[in-house]
Amino acid sequence: MRIRIDHDRCRGAGQCALNAPELFDQSDDDGTVVLLDDRPPPELHDSARIAAELCPNAVIRLVEDS
């Protein structure tokens, strides 16, 4: 799985940093998303999916390995 971020869409609601803190943080500058790991290990795939689902602005896109 790869995580892609459309940073311009982010308004810093923090759902990703709350639900998948291993993968996402928020910038100290403007609160927007900071991607910590764009190639999450399998045990974090579910967290990544939850973060993508909960993001209010469709910032997070997941590309599943085929």
Binding site for other proteins (CB under 8 A): 11-14, 17-18, 21, 25-32, 50, 53-54, 56-58
Q: Cβ closer to other proteins: 58 or 66?
A: 58
* Shortest spacing between CB 15 and other proteins, in angstroms: 8
Q: Cβ closer to other proteins: 38 or 53?
A: 53
Residue 23 near residue 47 (C-beta atoms within 8 A): yes
DSSP 27-61: -TTT--EEES-SS--GGGHHHHHHHHHH-TT--EE
